[in-house]
Amino acid sequence: MIGHTELGPGGEFDRIRAILERLGSRAAPSGDDCAVVTVGAERLALSTDLAIEGTHFRVGWLTPGEIGWRAAAAALSDLAAVAATPVGVLASVGASREWPEAIVADVMAGVGAAAATVDAVVWGGDLVRSDRLVIDMAVVGRVDSPVWRRGATPGDALWVTGALGAVAAAVRAWEDGREPDRQARERFARPAPRVSEARWLAERGATALIDVSDGLLGDVGHLAAASQVRCVIESERVPVHVAADRPDDAVVGGEEYELVVSLPSTFGRDEASQFSQRFGLPFTRVGSVEEGAGVILLEQGRPVELPAGFLQFD
Amino acid sequence: MIGHTELGPGGEFDRIRAILERLGSRAAPSGDDCAVVTVGAERLALSTDLAIEGTHFRVGWLTPGEIGWRAAAAALSDLAAVAATPVGVLASVGASREWPEAIVADVMAGVGAAAATVDAVVWGGDLVRSDRLVIDMAVVGRVDSPVWRRGATPGDALWVTGALGAVAAAVRAWEDGREPDRQARERFARPAPRVSEARWLAERGATALIDVSDGLLGDVGHLAAASQVRCVIESERVPVHVAADRPDDAVVGGEEYELVVSLPSTFGRDEASQFSQRFGLPFTRVGSVEEGAGVILLEQGRPVELPAGFLQFD
């Protein structure tokens, strides 16, 4: 959904978002990951994610099944980011005539496999000709009490699931003509939408939630802007993936599909340990929420000067 | 949705359809226009339509607003084709860096305008970079009693809304470097999804319904195959649009987004006249449903030999 890396922060992003809002039913707070709408008796979360060869991936990097998996997982992560429960998926694929039917079938099988990990099914799709591979995923979930980006409150702590930085390492390896580390490759190829994790956190009082698609700092910036608070990240606390090759990637690398969540101070070490045991996943306190605006990155207690743009999310 | 012109009839189409069915919840009868699924207390119809510059349209033919309108209308026509009521739309757009924000806004405004004609809203979307213009529409409707392709019964008559053949005339003009006739251009640029018409017909006993996206003969072929009947079309009866330049286009031209419907013989001239008065649209009996298989096109009472492929839809 809107909020995608390609548009990034800044004027263009904001104004196109405004167009959608003008057209739409104001279903979601400005720029949130999903539309949440009431259809008859149901409250639905919906999102769509368009991935284009060359812009979002290169065909040589991944198998067709992984391309399908990754596209589906990225879209399903938008549902996780509001603590919705995925139900079904529509997959549109544009593929060239050089792609035999068996390859398109593998893409679809990857979509189906990723959907199955969160108990969603592939409802249907469209298949057309295109000179570049194009995949659009539209995902539908149910949600009674969505957790938005906007609820972070001064005094909350900021936590992150998993460990970051390996996705960027994989991309860098491919771009340099190297084969990535196996674990880094897996992080890129088969992200896991944190659906159950999000619901568990929502039940335990999560005040704001976002998935890491633009990079930790970028997404925390979105959360800070939506919540009208200042978010402070302590860089030493950010969990760096064992397959990351540059620690900075953990802070700025995108398309991780982990969750950043703000939780009240009553959520402590015991609860974090329950989370880790239940999901087999690190859960790390990386910072705090204060009065103010923007994102502060601390290194050994001192604010780091952030690249232009990171403080301009509001 | 599956059934798109680009894949056409034949082995590839059938097998990719089979992949989707294997993955999915068997939500829709084989190859139907929409997935119809139960989500909690609601029965939803969903469809997705991917349109790619070069494959489905050329940018020079249409204004950005018309490109958006047409993409939305084509997807909403899939909802009409099962007599569903549209509720909302997600629009994903891939546009090149040469397209200023104002043009993308115009595309989105076209999407919103087409959706508004059937009381649907734009819930959200995605905007990414692409070297070719790409639009994917995912549409959601409500439906209590879907009308499928499969219900046509020997003894029914086949009817069609509107008049056909002008869309192909517009495309031919553009391909020949001419500006199309104004009415033909309008038929291509701003199709009207026949949502209210479909619901009216469903309430009056429609046994099977399909929209004309692959051409009248092609879509009647789908309907015949799904219903396990033979469909007979009398070519003299097919309503030819005043802006059509070749009468054959009315029989084989695609992307008309009119409806073909089978109705019991109790539906007669009076009812057809009510339809026309209510919707300001011709409603024409073009043929009949018999025992058997395939499509027969009659010219002055004699079967016309159809191009290879037209009798192979089952």
pLDDT for B8 beyond 80: no
How much is the pLDDT for A26? 45
In chain B, which residues have their Cβ closer than 8 Å to the Cβ of A56?
128
Tell me which residue has tokens 């301009």.
A312
Question: What are the pLDDT digits (tens) for B102-116?
Answer: 888 899 999 999 999
pLDDT for B286 beyond 80: yes
Identify the closest residue of chain B to A100 by CA–CA distance: B12
Task: Reduce the DSSP state of residue B199 to 3 states and report it.
Answer: helix
Q: Give mean pLDDT, residues B23-46.
A: 75
Beta bridge partners of B126: B92
Residue numbers of chain A with a pLDDT score lower than 70: 1-32, 307-314
Query: Can you tell me the ipTM of this complex?
Result: 0.86
Question: What are the pLDDT digits (tens) for B122-181?
Answer: 998 888 888 888 999 999 999 999 999 999 999 999 999 999 999 999 999 999 999 999
Q: Give the whole-number percent of chain B exceeding pLDDT 70.
A: 87
Q: Give mean pLDDT, residues B216-221.
A: 95
**CA pair distance B18, B6, nearest whole angstrom:** 17
Cα end-to-end span (Å), chain A: 18
**CA pair distance A211, A208, nearest whole angstrom:** 11
How much is the pLDDT for A96? 82
| Strands lying side by side in the sheet with B283-290 | B208-211, B259-263, B157-161, B283-290, B230-234, B294-299, B302-303
Q: Model's pTM, two decimal places?
A: 0.89
pLDDT for B75 beyond 80: yes
The pairing of beta strand A302-303 with beta strand A294-299? antiparallel
Asked whether the beta carbons of residue B48 and residue A131 sit closer than 8 angstroms, the reply is: no
Per the structure block, which two tokens stand in for B276? 């026309």
In chain B, which residues have their Cβ closer than 8 Å to the Cβ of A138?
46, 48, 90, 136, 138
Q: Give mean pLDDT, residues B16-32.
A: 56
**CA pair distance A70, A64, nearest whole angstrom:** 10
Q: Which of A193, A208, A157 is nearest to A29 (CA)?
A: A208
How much is the pLDDT for B38? 92
| Strands lying side by side in the sheet with B85-95 | B35-39, B42-52, B134-142, B85-95, B121-129
- 10 Å Cβ neighbour count for A291? 10
In chain B, which residues have their Cβ closer than 8 Å to the Cβ of A131?
54, 132
**Quick one: CA torsion of A247, A251, A256, A257, rounded to 10 degrees?**
150
Angle, CA A260 vertex, CA A257 and CA A266 arms, to 5°: 145
How much is the pLDDT for B127? 86
Asked whether the beta carbons of residue A128 and residue B34 sit closer than 8 angstroms, the reply is: no
B52 → closest Cβ in A34, A37, A128:
A128
Non-local CB neighbours of B248 within 8 Å, separated by 6+ positions: B165
Residues 120 to 179 of B: which have CB under 8 A from any A CB?
Answer: 121-132, 134, 136, 138, 140, 142
Mean pLDDT (chain B) is 88
Q: Give mean pLDDT, residues B47-57.
A: 87
How much is the pLDDT for A23? 63
